[in-house]
Amino acid sequence: MRIMLFGILAFFPFLGAIAADRPDQLEHQFNNLKSEYGAAQQDLRQAMARAGEGDERKAVLKQHQERKKELGTRALKLAQAAPKTPVTIDVLTWIVSLRTPSLTAEASKILVRDYINSDDILKACLYASRSQGPDFALVEGFLREVMVKSQNRRVKGLTTFYLAGFLKDRAEFVRSLKENSKVLEWHRETYGVKEVEQSLARAPNDLAKESEQLFEKIVEDYADLMTQSGDRLGTRAKGELFEARNLSVGKVAPEIEGQDVDGVRFKLSDYRGRVVLLTFSGTWCGPCRAMYSEERSLVERLKDKPFAVLSFNAEEEAEPLRKAIKSREITWRCWYEHGPNGPGSGPVCMRMGINAFPSMFILDRSGVIRYKEIHGDKLEEAVNKLLKEIDAGNH
Amino acid found at 198: Q
Which DSSP state fits 5? -
The answer, yes or no, to whether the previous bond of 358 is cis (omega within 30 of 0) is yes
- Three-state secondary structure call for residue 201: coil
Helices (H) and strands (E) in the chain, counts: 17, 7
Say what the pLDDT of residue 9 is: 30
Q: Is 194 or 319 the better-scoring residue by pLDDT?
A: 319
pLDDT, tens digit, 9 for 90 and up, residues 24-79: 788 999 999 999 999 999 998 888 888 877 778 878 888 988 999 999 999 999 99
pLDDT, tens digit, 9 for 90 and up, residues 116-128: 999 999 999 998 9
Say what the pLDDT of residue 23 is: 60
> How would you write 210-270 as a 3-class SS string?
HHHHHHHHHHHHCCCCECCCCCEHHHHHHHHHHHHHHCCCCCECCCCEEECCCCCEEEHHH
Percent share of the chain, pLDDT over 70: 92
How many Å from the N-terminal Cα to the C-terminal Cα in the chain? 54
Say what the pLDDT of residue 172 is: 83
pLDDT, tens digit, 9 for 90 and up, residues 54-66: 778 878 888 988 9
Say what the pLDDT of residue 48 is: 85
Say what the pLDDT of residue 29 is: 92
Q: Is the pLDDT of residue 186 over 80?
A: no
Say what the pLDDT of residue 2 is: 20
Q: Is the pLDDT of residue 228 over 90?
A: no
Q: Is the pLDDT of residue 252 over 50?
A: yes
Percent share of the chain, pLDDT over 90: 56
Q: Is the pLDDT of residue 344 over 90?
A: no
- The backbone torsions φ and ψ at residue 259, rounded to the nearest 5 degrees and listed phi first, read -130, 155
Q: Is the pLDDT of residue 8 over 70?
A: no
Question: Which of 152-166, 182-196, 218-232 reaches the highest mean pLDDT?
Answer: 152-166
Q: Write down the mean pLDDT value for the chain.
A: 87
Average pLDDT (261-273) is 95
* Contacting residues for 367 by C-beta, under 8 A, at least 6 apart: 252, 253, 268, 269, 272, 276
Q: Is the pLDDT of residue 6 over 80?
A: no
Question: Which of 148-157, 243-252, 282-291 reaches the highest mean pLDDT?
Answer: 148-157
**Single pTM value for the model:** 0.77
Q: Is the pLDDT of residue 179 over 90?
A: no
Domains and CATH numbers, the chain: 9-234 (no CATH), 253-393 (3.40.30.10)
Residue 99's pLDDT band (boundaries 50, 70, 90)? confident
Say what the pLDDT of residue 395 is: 61
Residue 297's pLDDT band (boundaries 50, 70, 90)? very high
Q: Is the pLDDT of residue 14 over 50?
A: no
pLDDT, tens digit, 9 for 90 and up, residues 79-88: 998 888 889 9
Say what the pLDDT of residue 13 is: 35
